[in-house]
Amino acid sequence: MYAQLRLILKVGGQMNNIYIRSKHSIKRITLTFLVTLIPLIIAGFYKNGIKLYNENLVDIYGLFKPLIFILIGFFVGVIVNILYLTFKKEKINLLEKAFSSFHPLYGVLVGASISINANIYVFIIVTFIIFLISKLFKESKINIPALSILLIIIILKFTSNFTYLNPYEISRTFDLTLLDYFIGRGTGGVITSHGFLLIFSLLVLSTQKFYKKNISYGSIITFISLIVIYGLYKENSKFILESIFTNGILFAFIYIAPSIITSSYTKYGTLIYGILVGIITFVIYLFDPYISVYIGVLIVSLFHKKLDKYSRKWLK
């Protein structure tokens, strides 16, 4: 059996039995994830803020917009936690209320994944509503960041010409190489396009016992394998590179799919979970690359408990 420890998390004022391989607290897990995001935040700030400002493509607000998305996402999560537990009249200090669930981390992940062109009011409203609703219902049923990002993208698709291209990328045509994608020149969310830093983050997180690395590796390997096979069949090497390194898909596999609460926890359950996410993401990618990974994560998250249950039976 997969070595595991039982961690009782107090989320949304209720006690939830979450099985993960760690004794870490919610606050410590959240801070660990946030620390690994720092290099990506710096890279995203340069790519989608400083560079655009230096090219006279954005104003001061545009310069700091990448950081604004990240900070607002974090504080939306904090505010929702505090409001909910204050309403429930929980007698704990403000810091404990702020980190009473993973919502501050969820907010950062949403802010990190959306397009730099996103309307900030749509981002705030959708994130706040989804987070608040998730506190009122049993939040362990569905991946909250994936749902929030998906809804934001859908709204933006209907209200504007949605694209991950920043103003600099819109104004020019690029023929990117593998090295370009590794150093972050591909398109994606606010901080999701730097291939080398994503790999570094994955390796660092993989050393943490609470991190469900089987999900990340399973989804990444499955998706890349299918993309390579399809790309070779179509004789299109450019399609392979674009599919792997753009649209924030790798970021989602690393940070969003292996949710502490809304993903499988057993050894084989996590592996099957990751493989299914990779397969569904690939299928939907052929129709809509922007939303593929979030639909994949959402669908599989709905069945994460059943995957654990049946994987124990099938693979005894």
Residue 9 lies in a domain: no
**Domain count along the chain:** 1
Query: What is the pLDDT, as a whole number, of residue 121?
Result: 96
Residue 1 lies in a domain: no
CATH number assigned to the domain comprising residue 170 = 1.10.3430
Residue 16 lies in a domain: no
Read off the tokens for 231: 């790309």
Residue 181 lies in a domain: yes
Residue 124 pLDDT > 80, yes or no?
Answer: yes
pLDDT in tens, 190-204: 999 999 999 999 999
Q: How far is CA 107 from CA 32, 80, 96, 102, 195, in A?
A: 15, 10, 17, 9, 22
Average pLDDT over residues 207-236: 96
Query: What is the pLDDT, as a whole number, of residue 172?
Result: 82
Q: Which of 209, 189, 299 lies closest to 260 in space, CA to CA?
A: 209
267-285 and 292-301 are packed helices; what angle lies between their axes, rounded to 10 degrees? 140
Query: What is the pLDDT, as a whole number, of residue 94?
Result: 85
Query: What is the pLDDT, as a whole number, of residue 304?
Result: 87
Residue 296 lies in a domain: yes
Residue 6 lies in a domain: no
Query: What is the pLDDT, as a whole number, of residue 316?
Result: 59
* CA 180 to mean position of chain CA atoms: 22
Residue recorded with tokens 């705030």:
124
Average pLDDT taken over every residue of the chain = 89
Residue 18 lies in a domain: no
pLDDT in tens, 2-52: 333 344 444 433 334 344 444 458 899 999 999 999 999 999 999 999 999
| Residues 17-26: contacts with CB under 8 Å, at least 24 apart | 18/140, 18/260, 18/261, 18/265, 19/265, 19/266, 20/209, 20/210, 20/212, 20/260, 20/265, 21/209, 21/210, 22/208, 22/209, 22/210, 24/209, 24/210, 25/99, 26/99, 26/100, 26/101, 26/102
Which residues on neighbouring strands pair with residue 8, listed in sequence order? 17
Residue 134 lies in a domain: yes
Helix, strand, coil percent values for the chain (each to nearest 5): 65, 5, 30
Average pLDDT over residues 139-157: 91
Listed range (38-47, 109-118, 166-175) with the worst mean pLDDT = 166-175
> How much is the CA Rg of the chain, to the nearest whole Å?
19
Listed range (68-72, 162-166, 220-224) with the worst mean pLDDT = 162-166
Q: With contact defined as beta carbons under 8 Å apart, do 178 and 50 qualify?
A: no
Alpha-carbon gap, residue 275 to 299, rounded angstroms: 13
Read off the tokens for 96: 């404990």
Q: Which of 72, 58, 81 lies closest to 12 in space, CA to CA?
A: 81
Residue 225: domain span? 25-314
Read off the tokens for 76: 């939306």
Residue 219 pLDDT > 50, yes or no?
Answer: yes
Q: How far is CA 58 from CA 53, 65, 116, 163, 187, in A?
A: 5, 10, 12, 17, 18
